[in-house]
Each structure stands twice: as C-alpha cells, then as structure tokens.
Amino acid sequence: MKPTFSSKSLMGWLGVLAYLAAILYLIEHFIPSFWISITFSLIGAFLLICAFFYISTISRIVVLSLISVGSYCVYAEQLSVQTAVLGFGENLNLLSLFLLIPLIGTFMSTAGYLSALKEKVQEREHKGSQHPYRLSYFLTASIGILLNYGSMAIVKRIAEESFSAYKDKKLTLNVMRAFGFCMMWSPYFVNVGLVLVLFQLSWFDIGGYAVVLAVVYLIVSWIFFRFISFKDETLVQQNDRNPVTSQNRSLTPFYIFCAVLITLSFLLDYLLHVNMLTVVSLVALLLPFLWAVINNLVKSYMQDVSEQVQHTFLRLKNELAVFISAGFFGMALSQTSFGGYVSEILFDASMGSVYLLSLFIVGLTILLAQIGIHPVIIIIGIGSSLTPSGFGVSPEFMAMLLLIAWTTSTQMSPFSGQVLMASRLMDQRPITVVRQNAVFALVLAFFLTTILYLALKAGII
C-alpha cells in the first residue's frame, strides 16, 4: 500500500517514534529501568500494528504466524502480561542498527566525503588505471562495512559516473557478492550483532574465525567471478563523457573519521559491559553529531537527518514488522520446553553427526528464505531454543554457523534486501539474480560449513 499525500505527516511521526524507541533502548542499557523497557516495548507493538497495513501479503502471513505461535506459548506457559509486552521490545537492539547505522552514511554525504571518494575514482579512471569489477568489489567490501545496504547503491552510482566501459549486470552482481563479504564479519551488520546477543559473546570471541571465513568467501567470489554471464548483456561505454571537474578534495578527513569510528567501536566493546550491537548503535548515534559539531556542519547534518527520519517508517516497514514479531516469538519460545523437542528431532535427523546437523541448519535456512521466511526468524528460533552445549559444540561454533546460514541464504533469496537492491539496480527480476547467484551461494554454504566443522574437529573453535 502506498501512502497518500495526507498520510505523509503520519509516516513522519511514525519515523520519529521508531527513533525514539531506539534511543530509549540505548538509554535503558546504561540506566536500567522497567518503565523505560515497557515504554519502548509498547512503541514497538504500536509500530508493528501500523507496519502491518503497509507490508506485503506474504509478510503479513509470516507476522501473523509468529504472533499466533508466540501468543499460544504465552498462554500455555501462563506468562504475565508484563512479560508478553516486553517481548515486543526484544528486538529493538536489532532495529536500532537499521535505524542508527545509516546516520553514518548521512554524515559522510553531508560532509562531502562520498563526493570526494567519487572524484578520486573518476580521476584514476581518466588516467586509465582502473579495473571496474575489481574496484567496485573493493569499494563495496570496504565502505559496506559501515554503510550497509547503502554501499551497493553508492558504488553503482560511482561506477555509472566514473567507469568508461563495463557490463552493468555483471558489475552489479559483483557488488552484491562484495556486500555478502561484509556480512561475514562486520560488527555493523545486524546478523553479526544478533548472534553475539543470542550467545552472549563479544565480537573478539568470534572475530578471528569470522575474518578467516570472510577471506574464504573472498576467494570463492574471485573464482566464481569469471562464470557471471547474463543473457543479452551489453557493454556500457561512456568514452564521450566530459572531463571530470575535480575540487581536489582530500580523502584524509574521510579516512580519519572511519578510523576513529572503527577504533572507538572496538575499544568500547572491550571496555563496556554491553554487547557490540549496543556499542555500534551508540557510536553511530553520537559520533556523527560530534563530528558535525567539530566541522561546523550541525545545521546541514540535522536537516539531512530530519529528512531521513521522515522516510524511515516506509523504508523499514518490513524490518519493523518482521523483527518486532520475531522478537515476541523468540521470547515466548524461550520460555517453553520446545528447545528440547527440537534438539531431539535435529539429532535424530542428523544421526548424531554435528557435521550433518550443521549442513541441515544452513540448508533449512536457505530453503525457508526462498519462500520469504526472513533468516532472523530462523536464527532467533534456533538461538532461543537450542543450547550449544546440548550439541556438544561451543557458543562460538554455533554463532559462526548461524552467520554462514544467514549470509548464504540472503545471497540467493528473492526476498532478501541485497537481492532486491541488486535487481532494482540492474533492472532485472529478483528470480533472475537468484538463478545467477545460486550455485555460488550453495558452494559457499558447503565450503564454509565444512571448514568450520574441520576447525571444530581440530579443537580450534
């Protein structure tokens, strides 16, 4: 459903409420208060109700299923009304990432960092020293760490305005794969934050394993790049473009900002008794504003933030609906003995083999993603129901396994954010992108799971 002109004000206020809930969530972590928790949980429930009327039919079915199962669990376990209400705020930590991390990109745009980056790429291109596919992968894999989905659109725009010759669909799919590289390890991504919360881990507990598997991902991407081939793909040539009018802006301020952002995130994760997900949300909220003050950009930055807030609800309506309902579902499920039954079923299905069980979990996540079941639902369901010790593995192993499941499933789901973004950027149906990427994602799922299991057998993880 598309909003009418008269509903724009409502959309704006819903966006403000979403940010208010995220900020209250952060405050509650440092000033624990039952009333603050109840407040942002009630806001979450209200946002869920509002978002329900704007999401697709399949998303509505998923949301209703989660709420129905969660409500049954609440009734069967005779949980209090307060506990049930708090369930709607269970995933405010995840939504805070979706809401606050984009503030980093907003500041970079306001400060002109992204324009300066584009100019440098254009200058190098006019010197004839660029490899468009390699550079686009590198740009996405680097700035995507901080900018999330926005990095795909930014890199595609840089490519369109900078490269003199490239194949559009091939480059876009390459960019999407580079985005998946970030999902394997970046603490600014919701899947990494989620597994850390579920298993009460610090990023440093899994960071080494995550980076190693990300390197394997990089190698597989390089091998499969040569097999990208779309039908009717034509070479985009722009040799007649006018010369670049560069303002000779230095990238040093951009590098300094990124260095401070990343260093501060890891330092606070090490020093504070809160999880990395909370840390990066807090840094994304405060650091851009402080940097704007230092650079005398407060007015421009706040105007850009205000505009972003106005469009937040419609931009994140699906995430709001699915994540809030999944949080309620996960809370209710964790109060039952369902995990024990699931453990027995999975063990029977895998014949007691941790390796087969790992492949089964990854495969199930990929399969359900094909019909619109968001990986967050599977990950929360598994994390809320199963204990790593029950399978004879460490929390680090289970966290990495779920990261593999999430990353590979979203690389080939027609409903995932990056596939939808890629299909829009290359003007192709999502299923076309999925078909082109399916073998790559399945090979990744098998190799990454196998390497992780071998690390377990070797006693490394």
Neighbours of 20 (CB within 10 A): 13
CA angle 370, 313, 431 (to 5 degrees): 20
DSSP H stretches of helix in 226-371: 252-271, 276-294, 298-310, 312-315, 317-334, 338-349, 354-369
- In terms of Cα–Cα distance, which of 45, 46, 42, 22 is closest to 34? 42
Is the distance from CB of 453 to CB of 354 less than 8 angstroms? Answer: yes
Question: What is the pLDDT, as a whole number, of residue 383?
Answer: 75
Taking only the tens place, the pLDDT of each residue in 391-425 is 788 999 999 999 999 999 999 888 888 898 899 88
The residue that leads in pLDDT, 279 or 130, is 279
pLDDT score of 5 more than 60: no
Looking at 148-275, list the stretches that DSSP marks H as alpha helix, in order from N- to C-terminal side: 150-162, 168-183, 190-198, 203-225, 252-271
d(CA 17, CA 294): 28
Identify the pLDDT of residue 243: 53
The pTM for the full model equals 0.86
Q: Per-residue pLDDT for 354 more than 60? A: yes
Per-residue model confidence (pLDDT) at position 318: 87
Chain Cα centroid distance, residue 156: 19
How far from the centroid of its chain's Cα atoms is residue 73's Cα? 29
Q: What is the pLDDT of residue 264?
A: 93
200 DSSP 8-state letter: T
Average of pLDDT values for 13-35? 93
First-to-last C-alpha distance (Å) of the chain: 47
Average pLDDT, the chain: 87
